[in-house]
Each structure stands twice: as C-alpha cells, then as structure tokens.
Structure 1
Amino acid sequence: MRVAVVGGTGRVGRPLVEALRRGGHDVVVAARSTGADVVTGRGLDGALRGCAAVVDASGPSWLSTRRARDLEGFFAAAADRVGDAAARGGAQHLVVLSAVGVDRLSGPPLLAGKRAQEERARRAPLRTTVVRATPPHEAGADVAALTREGDGAVVPPLLVQPLAVADLAAELARVAVGPPRGLLEVAGPRTEDLVDMARRTLSARREPLELRELARHALRRRGRRRGHAARPRRRPDAHDLRQLAARRLGAGVSGPPVAQPVRPTRPDLRRTP
C-alpha cells in the first residue's frame, strides 16, 4: 500500500516511516525538507497524489512560550490543507495523531491545537481515524523547554501514562493500513509523574535546569490534575523510562536499575465509542 506520512521527519513521523517500510509498504515522506509544507500548502498535492492512506503526524518546528498561543491556528490550518490535499489525491483513509485529554482539558495550548486539528480533520471529504495518544517519555523535558526562563522552568505535577514513541509508531502503522476506525486512544502501561519524567530526562542529557512545580491546588482548581492519564489494562512496561533514556541519550539516569529484561509489547489500546 502507498502511504504518505505528513511530518515524516519528526519525532513520531520518522519511526512511523520505518515501521511502514518494514511492513513492505510504499511510503512517501511529506515534510518541508522534502518539499511539502503544511504551513503554506506548497508541495502537498504532489506528495499525497496516489496515496491510499495519509497519516498526519505534523507539528510546528518551533517550541517557545511566546509562540505557544499560535498552536491552535497552526494545527487548524495544517489539518485543512492536509485533508483537502489527501482528498484531491484520491486517498481513502486519513489518520490524525492527536492527544488524550483534548475532550476534557481546556488549558494547555497543545491540547487546544489538537482539538482544532480533530475538528477540521473530521470535516475532510474522506474517512478519518483519530488516534489520541498519551505523551511520550520525553514530554516532561518538552514542558520544561516550553516554560524555561533562564536556568529555571515550571513543570506541572500531572499524572501521565507515557508511551514509547516506537510503540506509538507501530500502532499508527497498523491503523494506517487498516480500515478507518473512528476514534482510538493509546496509552502507556503505567502512570508516572511529569515532574519526575522531566528530572530524569534532563539528568540524562546533563542539562542543569532547576524545576519548579506548580501548586497542586491551582491545578485542581483549573481541572487539570487528571492530566493525560488514561485507564488502560496494566501490562509490563516494555520501555522503562530509565532504560529508554540511557539507551537513547547515552547517559546515566538517577534511580535504581531495572532488573527485568526489556521485551517489546503492543501498547494498550482502547476503543472509544
């Protein structure tokens, strides 16, 4: 099957392209570096023409507090351009990567952007599957980068169920080559604190950054305490954060070593009515 991956050079897009190719599929990488730009729409028609399925794993190339407010506009416009180009190119299935929590949390700019992306994607003139995923293991450090001021950053004490990017990519590949399924949610196998995740990843990267927690009562008042945590079935963690950080970043991470071997498993997947 010919499948286009929009954002195919990004954190999720790159392993998704690899997973699809391992499955024997003809993959088109649609990214600015390959001449397809979701911001201007330039090159999208040519890239998506003749593809049976299109996966939208695109995201902005910037990450700063000053421009975080623009996320909603970015994702809405990109979804319109991708959906229209996919339909014109003859695609039968559009897969959109979204985030768990978009239907019940209103504060974070990323979720507002993803909510706008979902709404626009569902208006596209072709059948759509929305895959809502919990944050990756690197999410804590991403939040720290977004809120960084000088040598400090603010990370909210949210409970999340981080999902390894490799597992998410494998699930997106399975969804892309299958029939449209409406709405799915994918979550990691266990709950972790976002602040702890940030500390471990920053320690692995040897980034001396002071983390400050937001007051928990303020988070509860805003209705954010539930964070991105879903309620999947418990399974052994195939990608423990400490092993993942040490393996990918080549640096030690604080905390006791993990004794059990790492074995790849399928991420928890829940069908949402």
Structure 2
Amino acid sequence: MATFSFADMPDMTGRTVVVTGANSGIGRVAARVMAGRGARVLLGVRDVAKGHEAAASMTGETDVRRLDLADLASVRAFADAVDEPVDLLVNNAGLMIPPLGRTADGFELQFGTNHLGHFALTNLLLPRVTGRVVTVSSVGHRAGSIEFDDLNWERRRYRAMSAYAQSKLANLLFTSELQRRLTEAGSPVLATAAHPGMASTNLLRPTGPWARLRAVQNGVVHLVAQSEEDGALPTLYAAVADVPGDSYAGPGGLGETRGAPRLVGRSRAARDTAVARRLWTVSEQLTGVTFSLTRADAA
C-alpha cells in the first residue's frame, strides 16, 4: 500500500479491540476511528473519568475499563475481566521523560509502564488474541540501550531521556521476540510496531525541574509537529495494513517526523535477537508473567 489514510480503514464490525491509553493523544484517535468503523473498543485507561469523557466523543460501541500499567495487580485485574476474543490489542499508553519515579512494583516508571506493563498485559491476554498485537515505540529508541545490570536505574544517575529511549527500544525488541514465539507456536497472530513521528500530544507536556525550559522547547516542537490525527496513522497502518509480522511503521516524511505512514527501519540494537531473547526472559522474571501459548492453543 503506497499511501494510507483514514479512508483506507476497513469495516471493523464484529471485531473487538483493546487500546491502552485511549483517553488522550494518538490512542484516543485510534480508538475513535476503529469504533467509528464498527469495532467494539475497550478503552484501557488509568483515569476512568477521563476515559468516559473520551468515549463520549466517539461514535460506536466503547467500554471504558480501568488499567494502570504501572501496577501489575491492575494489569492482571484488567486482563482477567476480558472474557471475549480480542481481534486487536494496541499497546499505546506510555510516559515520556518524567522525573524519576517507581511503579507500584518498584520498577523505574518508564521501563515499568512502557515495557513491563505492556509485556504482562500482552502475555495475559494472548490466549484470547486472534489477530494482531501493535506496540507503539518511538524514533527515540535509536538512542536506547538495554542495561541489564541496572534496568531500573537503581545505581546509575537517572537520566529521563535515556530511560525513555531504553523503554522504547524494549518495545521493539519485545515485538520481534513476540513474533518469533508466535511463529514458533504456529499462531496466526501477528506482532507489529509503530511510531507516531513528531506528534503534538500530551507526551510533550513539560514536567520536573526543567519544566520552564522544556515548555519553550516544546512550543517550538508543537509548531512543526503533526497533529494527533496524523500521528495515529502509523498505529492504524500497523493494525490493519497487509504487512508481515515484526513490521515497524512510521511517518514517511523527512526524518520520519511526519507524513503518510510506511514501513520504516530500526536501529541495530533493535535488531539484536540475542538481546531480545534475554530481555524477554528477564521481563518474565520481573513480572511473573510468561508466554504460555502452545501449538495446541494456536491450532
């Protein structure tokens, strides 16, 4: 598909979609578009009131449910309450460069939310997923490295952008290893990834001690960033386009900052299969959630 726009979205009547972080930004746009095409959309949100506000702006069938990806107990409760087949899981929610914080389980906030929360959610829901798992990463993954000796920033001086880049790199390594395991199990489910380029979303909201400087920087960014609607297109492309497993979609314009979505490249670190396998093993150990799909399940 040379170009892709909202007009290319297929009818999704009869499909069930789970979108995390669907109350704002590209998650809200993606949920709105798919609900408008007939899908039943489960909005997994930390703030239920904001989730209902978002749902009220959508047409079609929506169901707002609480999901705090920074709390594995919340992730398990959400997954346990999903008792229907899920055609599409969109791992969209995320944090970007907050001050140092910890999840309810003691993980560094960005790694714990952006990667480990979605890792646990995906594996818990996987026996019910029938179509695709789309995980939202970032061009910021190119600056990332997986520091296995201190994944949760307990000994290093905390650097919010480095922690963000690590979490976004983890998203891509997770997608690759998930697809390898799905293929090995004989499952028809596809794992794909996407990034929104430079999109004007709440992730650009300044926080922390450098908030004033960031506000000035973000003001410049907002002038050149594409809209939330355009930022959501790569996610939708990765969700419905005819692409192979482990595909990575992003804007096709200059520097992948904006433009119509297409398949894009990733860093050498994101293609390291050995690191991907090790990260999966470590993630299982940290979350207590494992990949349990077998060939019998996939048949």
What interval of TM-score do these two structures reach, taking the shorter chain for normalisation?
A: 0.5 to 0.7
CA apart distance, 1:77: 1.3
1:167 aligns with 2:230: yes
1:12 aligns with 2:49: no
1:113 aligns with 2:170: no
**2:247 aligned to 183, 192, 206, which one?**
183
2:100 partner amino acid: R
1:64 partner amino acid: P
RMSD, aligned α-carbons:
3.5
1:65 aligns with 2:99: yes
**CA gap 1:178/1:188 in 2 versus in 1, 3 angstroms:** closer
Report if the CA contact (8 A) 2:141-2:168 is conserved.
Answer: yes
TM-score normalised over the length of structure 2: 0.55
**CA gap 1:174/1:154 in 2 versus in 1, 3 angstroms:** closer
CA apart distance, 1:156: 6.9
- How far does the alpha carbon of each residue in 1:220-257 deviate from its partner, in whole angstroms, 9 at most, with x for none? xxxxxxxxx3387xxxxxxxxxxxxxxxxxxxxxxxxx
> Percent identity of the aligned residues?
14
Listed as ranges, the gaps of 5+ residues in structure 1 are 191-228, 233-265
Equivalent residue for 1:2? Answer: 16
CA apart distance, 1:116: 1.7
Report if the CA contact (8 A) 1:71-1:113 is conserved.
Answer: yes
**CA gap 1:147/1:134 in 2 versus in 1, 3 angstroms:** farther
1:267 aligns with 2:256: no
Alpha-carbon distance in 2 for matches of 1:63, 1:100: 14
* Higher share of residues assigned strand: 1
**1:74 aligned to 82, 88, 113, which one?**
113
1:119 partner amino acid: L
Q: Secondary structure at the match of 1:95?
A: strand
Alpha-carbon distance in 1 for matches of 2:262, 2:225: 13
Alpha-carbon distance in 2 for matches of 1:30, 1:21: 14
**2:86 aligned to 51, 58, 68, which one?**
51
Equivalent residue for 1:244? Answer: none
- How far does the alpha carbon of each residue in 1:160-203 deviate from its partner, in whole angstroms, 9 at most, with x for none? 9733210122442343234453233423746xxxxxxxxxxxxx
**CA gap 1:14/1:110 in 2 versus in 1, 3 angstroms:** same
Alpha-carbon distance in 2 for matches of 1:92, 1:35: 23
- How far does the alpha carbon of each residue in 1:121-148 deviate from its partner, in whole angstroms, 9 at most, with x for none? 4333452101123231357953x43453
**CA gap 1:26/1:141 in 2 versus in 1, 3 angstroms:** closer
CA apart distance, 1:154: 8.0
2:260 partner amino acid: P
**CA gap 1:94/1:153 in 2 versus in 1, 3 angstroms:** closer
Report if the CA contact (8 A) 2:25-2:202 is conserved.
Answer: no
Listed as ranges, the gaps of 5+ residues in structure 2 are 1-14, 49-64, 103-107, 146-160, 183-188, 267-299
TM-score normalised over the length of structure 1: 0.59
CA apart distance, 1:3: 1.6
2:116 partner amino acid: A
Equivalent residue for 2:207? Answer: 145
**CA gap 1:45/1:184 in 2 versus in 1, 3 angstroms:** same
1:127 aligns with 2:187: no
**CA gap 1:78/1:97 in 2 versus in 1, 3 angstroms:** same
Equivalent residue for 1:136? Answer: 199
